[in-house]
Amino acid sequence: MAATRLIALHINKGKTVAQCLRDRTDYAQNPEKTAKGDLVTGYQCDPMTVDEEFLLAKRQYQHITGKHQKRDVIAYQIRQSFKPGEITPDEANKVGYELAERFTKGNHAFVVATHTDRAHIHNHIIFNSTTLDCAHKFKDFYYSGLAIQRLSDLICLEHGLSIIEKVPSSQRPKRTIYEKRTTYRERIRQDIDTILKKPPADYDAFLRRLEEMGYEVKRGKYASVKGKDQQRFVRFHSLGEGYVEEDIQAVIAGEKKHRARIKSPLAKENRVFNLLLVIDDKIRAKGPGYQQWATNYNLKQMAKTRIFLKEHSINSMDELREKASTTSADFDRIDKELKSAEQRLVEIAALKKHIINYAKTREAYVQYRKAGYSKAFFEAHREEITLHKAAKDAFQKMGMKKLPKVKELSEEYATVLEQKKSLYAQYRLSREEMQEYQKALHNTEVFFDMDRNSEIDYHLKEEFTKAQTQK
C-alpha cells in the first residue's frame, strides 16, 4: 500500500544552495540504494547534473524576474512507499515518475530514485521549486499533502496496487485489552438460568435456592436479591423480560418455558460488507479474464470512483444505492421548488401588468359603457378598451374578487426572487452531488458486471477448448 508525503527541502545553516542541492540529490541517487543507479530517472534534467541544472534555473529566475529568493525552500521531495512484495523496483520507479509528472503538470524538472535497501520499496522524488520556464515557483498550498496522497492513491489503483485505508478510531486495535466484566444483574440472570433448568417445586423453593447460592433475599411486595459483594438490593422486575416475578412463577408452574438472555454482539467487521476492499481485491487480482476486462473497461475511471467512495465513506452497495436515491430525491424536491418560484414570479409580473392596465384604462371603459358600447367610440379607443377587457378576463380566471395592491405584489416579487436565487444555488450543488453519486453507482455496477462477464467468458472458452481437444 502506497504511503505518500510531501517535504519541503530547506537551506541548511552554514551551507550554500549548491551544496544543499548536491547533498539532497546525492543521497536520493545513492548507488547502493538504487541498484547502482539503474533505478534513477529524470524529467527535463540529467540525474548526473541535476543539482547544477536546478541551481542554473534559480539563477535564471532571478535574472528574468528580478526577484531574490526570500524563502529558504530550494526544492521539494515526495516520499512514496509501497507494500512489501506487491511491486517490482522498475514498476515502482514508473509509478513514481507518473506521480511526479501529474502532480507538477510537467512544469518542474525532477528526478525519481527508487530505493531497495529496505523491506519496503520506496521512491525519493525531488523536483525543483523553480519552473522550467524560470518565471515562476511552486506554491505549497494548504492541502498539498492531502492532494498528493489522493493523486498517489488514484495512480496506485490504476496500476492495481493497494492503498492505505483510514481506520476510524473506534475500529483501531486497543493497546491494552481488559477482561470483560460481568455485571451484577448479568450474574443474577445467569444464576436464575441455572435454577430454572430444573424448576423447583414452588416459588419459595426458588428463593431458597438463591439463598443457598449466597444471595440475600428480601421478600415482600417486590422481591429483591443482593450478592455477597453487592452494596444494594436488585429487584427482579429490573432484570428484564423473562426474569420478573410473574415470568419466574409461570415457568415454575409449567405455563411457559424459560429462555435465557444471551448476549452475542456481532463484530462490526462481520456485519458490514466492505465495498472498497472488494473493489481493491478485484483490481489487484488480475486473474483469468483480466486482460479482456481491462480492455473493455476504463480502469482509470474506476480508480476515480474508488477514491470518491473512500472520501465519502461508502462501504457497501446498499449505502451507495441509498445515497444515490437520496441525492436524486433532494434534487427533484429542489427542482420542483425552483420551478414553483419561477412560476409565481411569472404570475406576479402578469398580475401587476393587468392591474396597471386596468387602472389606466378604467376611465376610457366607463365612457365606452356610457356611450352604449358605441362602435365608433370603440374604434377610437380600441387599445384602451382591449387592454381593460383583457385585465378583467384575467382577474375572472384567477377568481379574484378584490385586487391586491401593486406595492404588495412588488414586495412579494422581491421575496420570491430572493428565494429563487437561494434555491438556484442549492439546485446547482444538489445536481452536482446527484450526478457524482449516480456516476459512482453506474461505474461500480458496470465494474462488477464486466468483471463477472469476463470470468464467465474465460471459463466458457476454457470448456470449449477442452471439448475440442477431446474430439
Check whether 331 has a pLDDT greater than 70: yes
Of 109, 138, 166, the last residue of a domain is 166
Mark whether 153 and 188 lie in a shared domain.
Answer: no
Domain closes at, from 117, 132, 166: 166
**367 and 419 assigned to the same domain:** yes
In terms of pLDDT, which residue wins out, 303 or 343?
A: 343
Distance CA 109, CA 106 (A): 8
Beta bridge partners of 217: 225
Would 397 be classed as within a structural domain?
yes
Determine the average pLDDT of the residues in 247-267.
Answer: 75
Query: Percent of the chain, pLDDT > 90?
Result: 28
Question: Could you give the number of structural domains in the chain?
Answer: 3
State the amino acid at position 213 in one-letter form: M
Instruction: Check which CATH number belongs to the domain holding 110 and give it.
Output: 3.30.930.30
* Whether 147 and 189 share a structural domain: no
Q: Which of 198, 218, 252 is the last residue of a domain?
A: 252
State the average pLDDT over residues 334-351.
91
Distance CA 469, CA 454 (A): 23
- The conformation of residue 388, written as its DSSP 8-state character, comes to H
Whether 53 maps to a domain, the answer reads yes
| Residue 13 and residue 87 in one domain | yes
Say yes or no: 70 and 141 in one domain. Answer: yes
- In angstroms, rounded to a whole number, what is the distance separating the alpha carbons of residues 320 and 278? 14
pLDDT band at 49 (very low <50, low <70, confident <90, very high): very high
For residue 317, give the C-alpha cell: 452497495
C-beta of residue 116 within 8 angstroms of C-beta of residue 43: no
Shared domain check, 157 and 15: yes
Average pLDDT over residues 67-94: 87
Q: pLDDT per residue over 181-223, tens digit each?
A: 778 888 898 899 998 888 888 988 988 898 888 898 888 778 8
**Do both 133 and 215 map to the same domain?**
no
Q: Say if residue 464's pLDDT is above 50.
A: no
CA 227 to chain centre: 51
pLDDT value at residue 267 = 38
Q: Residue 265 has what pLDDT?
A: 43
Cα separation values, 285 from 94, 96, 131, 307, Å: 20, 22, 40, 18
Instruction: Tell me the per-residue pLDDT of 149-163, one tens digit each, with 9 for 90 and over.
Output: 888 888 887 787 877
User: Is residue 451 pLDDT above 60, yes or no?
Assistant: no
Q: Select the more confidently predicted residue: 91 or 72.
A: 91
pLDDT at 134 over 90: yes
Name the least confident of 105-114, 133-142, 254-263, 294-303: 294-303
Judge whether residue 242 has pLDDT over 90: no
What is d(CA 366, CA 388) in angstroms, rounded to the nearest whole number? Answer: 10
The share of the chain scoring above pLDDT 70, in percent, equals 82
Q: Looking at residues 354-374, what average pLDDT do you find?
A: 89
Rg (CA), the chain: 39
Query: Is 295 within a domain?
Result: no
Write down the residue that cell numbers 458496470 correspond to. Answer: 446
The cell for 359 is 387602472
Q: What mean pLDDT is predicted for residues 134-156? A: 86
Residue 299 lies in a domain: no
Q: Within 13 Å of residue 383, how many CA atoms lie on the same side as its CB?
A: 1
Residue 391 lies in a domain: yes
* Same domain membership, residue 416 and residue 353: yes
Neighbours of 51 (CB within 10 A): 24
Same domain, 149 and 204: no
Which has the higher per-residue pLDDT, 277 or 402? Answer: 402
Which of the four pLDDT bands, split at 50, 70 and 90, describes residue 170? low
Q: What pLDDT was estimated at residue 21?
A: 93
Q: What is the mean pLDDT of residues 357-364?
A: 89
d(CA 413, CA 431): 26
Amino acid at 186: E
d(CA 134, CA 56): 9
Task: Quickly list DSSP for 269-320.
Answer: HHHS--HHHHHHHHHHH--TTHHHHHHHS-HHHHHHHHHHHHHTT--SHHHH
Taking the C-alpha atoms of residue 101 and residue 155, their distance in angstroms, rounded to an integer, is 12
Residue 406 lies in a domain: yes
Which grid cell sits at 349?
A: 409580473
Q: Please tell me the distance from the alpha carbon of residue 113 to that of residue 80, in angstroms, as a whole number.
A: 10
Whether residues 330 and 394 share a domain: the answer is yes
pTM over 0.85: no
Same domain, residue pair 95 and 21: yes
Query: Confidence band (pLDDT; 50, 70, 90) for 277?
Result: low
* CA nearest to 7, candidates 19, 31, 26, 24: 24
Range(s) of the domain holding residue 227: 184-252
| Mean pLDDT score of the chain | 82
Q: Rounded to whole angstroms, how far apart are CA atoms 145 and 157?
A: 18
Contacts with 50 (C-beta within 8 Å, 6 or more apart), sequence order: 21, 25, 42, 109, 111, 126
Verify that 357 and 420 share a domain, yes or no: yes
